[in-house]
Amino acid sequence: MKAGASGAGMKPSGKSVPTVATGMEPSIGAKALRLRDGTTSPEHVEIAAEVPVALVYNSISHVVMMATPGDLADFALGFSLSDRIIEQPGELQALEIIGDARGYQVSMRIPPARSFALRGRRRNQAGLTGCGLCGVETLDQVHLALPPIVAGPPVDVAAIHRALAALPALQPLNRATGAIHAAAWSNLAGDIVIVREDVGRHNALDKLIGAMTRLKIDPADGFAVITSRCSFEMAQKAVAARIRVLVAISAPTTLALAVAERSGLTLVALARTDSVTVYANPERLSGTGSGAAQ
C-alpha cells in the first residue's frame, strides 16, 4: 500500500519506488471534557499526531525528527536542501518511505561525496519537534554557506495581506487540532499556491521547500508565509531555498535579523491582515507608502 502523503514514494525523477504506509493519520480522535461557565460536558476532539521520522542517507541514520506523518517526501527533500546536505534536487537520487507502529524511516540515496561530507557533521541525534539545530556539535556548523538572494519583481504589501487573510481556511489540520504550524507559498498576486502543515515549524517550512522544489516553482515568483516566530533557522532555511521575502506571524530574533540583513532577505514579521512590520530590506516591497520599514 502506498503512503498517502503528497509526493511520497517518488524519486525526484518522478519514478516510483517501494513505499509502505503505517496507517498513521495526521490526527486522531479522542474524548475530552469541556469546562465552561461552571458546567462540564463531554467533547470529541482531534489530537495532532506527532511521530518519529528517521532521515537516513546512504544507509546511515542522520537524525530522527518528531513530525506530523504527512508530505514526508516533501519534508525529506526540503530538509536535505535547506540543511545543505545536497545542493541540487537532482542529487537526491532515490527516496523510500517505510513505516511501522514505531514511526517512519525515510531512506535516501545521495552522491558518495555528499554522504562523506555528511558523516563529518556527526548529527546522529534525536530531534525535538521544535528543534532546528538538533545534533549540531560546533559553532562552525551553525552558520551555513548561503546563496545570495537574487533580484526579482517587487512584492506588494496588499498581496501579503491577501495571503494572510486566506491562510487560516487552508489549514485543515490546525483547525481540527489547534496544535499545528503552517508554511505557505503565495504568488505575487497574493494567491496561496501551496500549504504544508506540521507540528514543527521547521518541518512545515522544509515540507514547503520540498514541495516547491518538486513542483519546480521559482522562488522569485512570490513569497513565503509562516505561522510562527522567525528564528535564525527559519531565516537560514528560507535563504538556502532562495526565497526572497519571508513573512512571519510572530516576531523575529536578533540572529534571524542578522541573517536577513547579511543575505538580502526581505523579512516581514508581526504580520496581520491589516498591518505588517518590515525588519529588513523593505526596498523589495511595493505599496509601502514611503518605501521604508513600517
Nearest one of 224, 235, 208 to 78, comparing CA atoms: 208
Alpha-carbon distances, residue 62 vs 107, 126, 128, 241 (angstroms): 10, 9, 14, 21
What's the grid cell of residue 258? 542578522
| Active-site annotation holder among 10, 131, 149, 173 | 131
What's the grid cell of residue 9? 514514494
C-alpha dihedral (175, 177, 183, 187), degrees to nearest 10: -20
Q: Give residue 179's identity as a one-letter amino acid code.
A: A
| Cβ pair 226, 248 in contact under 8 A | yes
Buried b (16+ CB within 10 A) or exposed e, 148-179: ebeebebbbbebbbbbbebbeeebebbebbeb
| Cβ pair 49, 69 in contact under 8 A | yes
Catalytic, 131? Answer yes
Buried b (16+ CB within 10 A) or exposed e, 213-243: bbeebebeebbbbbbbbbbbbbbbbbbbbbb
- 139's CB contacts (< 8 A; 6+ apart) are none
Enumerate the H helices of 72-200 as residue ranges. Answer: 72-82, 112-119, 157-166, 172-177
Catalytic residues: 131
